[in-house]
Amino acid sequence: MNIEFITKDDLRKIENLLGEIKGLLKPEQGQSKQWLKSAEVRKLLNISPGTLQNLRINGTLRYTKIGGMLYYKLEDITKLLEGGQQ
C-alpha cells in the first residue's frame, strides 16, 4: 500500500491552476458580452416581453435563434439606443 502526501507546495500549485482556469472562464473586466439573451435585453432597455417581441416582429431589433433561445447583438442594441438605423 502506497501512501502519498500532499504538501503545501502542491496545494499552492493547485490553487494557482484553479485561478488560471477561473480567469479563462470569466470575461475580462474591460470586455462586455457580444450576445445578450432576451431577459438581459429587456432589463437593459427596461421594456416588457411584449415590447421586445414587437421590436423583433417589425424588424427594429435583429436577433438570432439558437435552439429555443433568442440572442441579440450588443452592437445592434447600442445602435437602437443611439437612434441609428441598422
Residue 70: inside a domain, yes or no? yes
Give the Cα separation of 86 and 77 in Å (integer): 10
Domain count along the chain = 1
Report if residue 16 sits inside a domain: no
**pTM, whole model, 2 decimals?**
0.60
Band (pLDDT 50/70/90 cuts) for residue 57 is very high
Q: Is the pLDDT of residue 60 over 80?
A: yes
Indicate whether 62 pLDDT > 90.
yes
- Compute the average pLDDT of residues 37-49: 92
In terms of Cβ atoms closer than 10 Å to its own Cβ (0-12, 13-18, 19+), residue 1 is exposed
Residue 56 pLDDT class (50, 70, 90 cuts): very high
Query: Is residue 28 in some structural domain?
Result: no
Residue 74 lies in a domain: yes
Whether 69 is in a domain gets the answer yes
Residue 52 forms part of a structural domain? yes
Q: Does residue 11 fall inside a structural domain? A: no
- Domain assignment of residue 54, yes or no: yes
Say which residues have a Cβ less than 8 Å from residue 70's Cβ, sequence separation at least 6. Answer: 37, 38, 56, 63, 64
Residue 9 confidence (pLDDT): 93
Domain with 55 in it:
35-82
